[in-house]
Structure 1
Amino acid sequence: MSFSMTGYGQSSLQFGGYKITFEVKSVNNRYCEVVLRMPRDWTVYEDMLRRQVQAHIKRGRVDVIINREHADEADSAQVLNRSAVRSYLKSAQQLSREFGIGGELQLRDILALPGVMELKEDVHALASSQDLKDTLEQGLNGSLEALMDMRAREGGFLAADLLGRLNHLEEIHAEMAGLAPVVVSEYRERLRQRLTLLNDGTFPFEEHKFGMEMAIFADRCNIDEELTRLYSHFEQCKAVLKSSEPAGRKLDFLIQEMNRETNTIGSKCNYLTLVNLTLDMKAELEKIREQAANLE
């Protein structure tokens, strides 16, 4: 199963009088980058939560946002931290004396300072409990499951589109394989006609030299090896898309190889129809590359 790198998941639960919400969203990224935003006193669990995300996701930037709020407003009453207020006032007086800074702290300024107002409950004690750790794991797992469901659905659509485009490439490949023998035969006829027109009787026509020229041309424009490798890459792409392993990087490599083989065919063939087919194949490969860039 293929997974997209974009998705969103959300969950919430109750704990200790709090409503804790978990939001997880992911976007394209070459590597796995996890960014967590949560209450400062819960950062002790950051490594644990990051490992939990990385166990589910191999590629993409993942933003994890954890918020808490009191489930009951009556429990959210705050109290004044008098020691913090005294500390701020003392520091303000020292600044004024040492640096000659004028002005006075207003009430609204003091109330806006960090730590002046605190919740009644001992949040730090809550944050250190084993129950909170289990709750955070459970809540994050719920949002990750929703995220993975969305990534799987979108990945399924992307894989179906890519398989359809690979089938189109196989059709172009079949046309190329059918035209490859025609290139030599048509060149032989054109060359023979040109030599016939140029032959005014002043030089003999040597069949063996003509055959040598045709052999050299046939070897130079032979694309059997490139067509074989292209077909092999098509099959590998299909296998990668049907695998449960991350497909993005493998597809990126295979697309580069298919582009290389297509360029080689374009440089070898001396036949307009084949050149046009290589252009069609390159255009389709570019569309595949753009779609594959969204896969994990």
Structure 2
Amino acid sequence: MSLSMTGYGQSAVDYQGYHVSIEVKSVNHRYCEVVFRMPREWSRFEDSLRRAVQTRIGRGRVDVYINKENNGESPNAVLNHAMVKAYLQAAEELKPYGIQGELTVRDMLSLPDVLVSPGGLPMDEAQQQEWHDALLQGLNKALDGLVQMRSKEGAFLVKDIEERLGRLESLHGEMAELAPEVPEEYRKRLRQRIESLDDGSLAVDEHIFGMEVALFAERCNVEEELIRLRSHLEQCRELLNQKGPVGRKLDFLIQEMNREVNTIGSKANHLTLVNRVVEMKAELEKIREQAANVE
């Protein structure tokens, strides 16, 4: 079943004294574009998390928001021992230049990056993997909600498009019945016009008359266009029941149907057929608007 490209999902993870909230939003996009907004210390996980999103989402722009808050179980700030040692080492290296004085606690605490959040400390491989797994678990849970919403909305889109395809098929049937009658109606109108102008001095050449009707019948023949249009309608129904991204294929078929309908309108030279063409173009435009949101 086709999915919509619009959806929303959220989740939360409590880990190592932090409450991590994850929101995932998706909207229409030609390709699959994933944008992350999260704390800088987790940037190392971005590529892996992006691949996790791309395995679940085939098409659309996906915005992922990851925020963390201290839940009171861990300190808001801790000493960055590596930076403290680096500052002390630098102070020792300045003494040979005749610079006097010692660093006080106040001086040290005022220096950049001496106090950092626990998440800002360097992590070993094991700690990185633990945080990565926690974030991935929360992301997948949020993606579950996103996919569920996209699936639900996709079902409504498919239902609406199928109903409109039914209307197009009905119009197609009417056009297929009308098309063979067009040359005969033209023949009758042409005969009536000649008779209305004939004052007894005109000699109607039946051979020329027949050639004129035959040429008109050839120019207004839309049988090939109707066959291709029927094929496109059938392909649209098949696409709507396929799994995976079908939106771009659907958009292509709608363009092709518009082309066939325009050709029929230009060749028909028949009021009722032209009216059916106008109705069909209106339905195709509504389908195009709906299909723009199909993954």
> TM-score if structure 1 supplies the norm length?
0.85
Partner of 1:124: 122
SS in 2 for 1:194: helix
SS in 2 for 1:34: strand
1:63-102 equivalence runs, <5 A: 63-71=63-71, 73-79=72-78
Partner of 2:26: 26
**Whole-Å separation in 1 of the counterparts to 2:183 and 2:117:** 86
Over aligned residues, Cα RMSD in angstroms? Answer: 2.4
Partner of 1:95: none
Which ranges of structure 2 fall in alignment gaps of 5 or more residues?
Answer: 88-105
SS in 2 for 1:69: strand
Partner of 1:44: 44
Partner of 1:237: 236
Asked if structure 2 preserves the Cα contact closer than 8 Å seen for 1:41 and 1:124, the reply is no
**Whole-Å separation in 1 of the counterparts to 2:70 and 2:293:** 39
Q: Cα distance, 1:248 vs. partner?
A: 0.7
> TM-score if structure 2 supplies the norm length?
0.86
Asked if structure 2 preserves the Cα contact closer than 8 Å seen for 1:126 and 1:132, the reply is no
Paired AA for residue 34 in structure 1: V
**Whole-Å separation in 2 of the counterparts to 1:185 and 1:266:** 18
Asked if structure 1 preserves the Cα contact closer than 8 Å seen for 2:7 and 2:149, the reply is yes
**Whole-Å separation in 1 of the counterparts to 2:119 and 2:211:** 94
1:167 aligns with 2:166: yes
1:228 aligns with 2:227: yes
Asked if structure 1 preserves the Cα contact closer than 8 Å seen for 2:39 and 2:67, the reply is yes
Asked if structure 1 preserves the Cα contact closer than 8 Å seen for 2:70 and 2:76, the reply is no
**Whole-Å separation in 1 of the counterparts to 2:210 and 2:273:** 24
Aligned-residue identity in percent = 57
Paired AA for residue 122 in structure 2: H
1:67-216 equivalence runs, <5 A: 67-71=67-71, 73-79=72-78, 115=113, 117-119=115-117, 123-125=121-123, 128-216=127-215
Asked if structure 2 preserves the Cα contact closer than 8 Å seen for 1:77 and 1:119, the reply is yes
SS in 1 for 2:201: coil
Aligned length: 273
**Whole-Å separation in 2 of the counterparts to 1:285 and 1:24:** 32
Shifted more, 200-209 versus 116-125: the winner is 116-125
Paired AA for residue 141 in structure 1: N
Q: Cα distance, 1:141 vs. partner?
A: 0.8
Partner of 2:101: none
SS in 1 for 2:293: coil
Q: Deviations over 1:164-200 (max 9, x none)?
A: 0000011111111111122111111110011112222
Which ranges of structure 1 fall in alignment gaps of 5 or more residues?
Answer: 88-106
Q: Cα distance, 1:76 vs. partner?
A: 3.0
**Whole-Å separation in 2 of the counterparts to 1:47 and 1:20:** 19
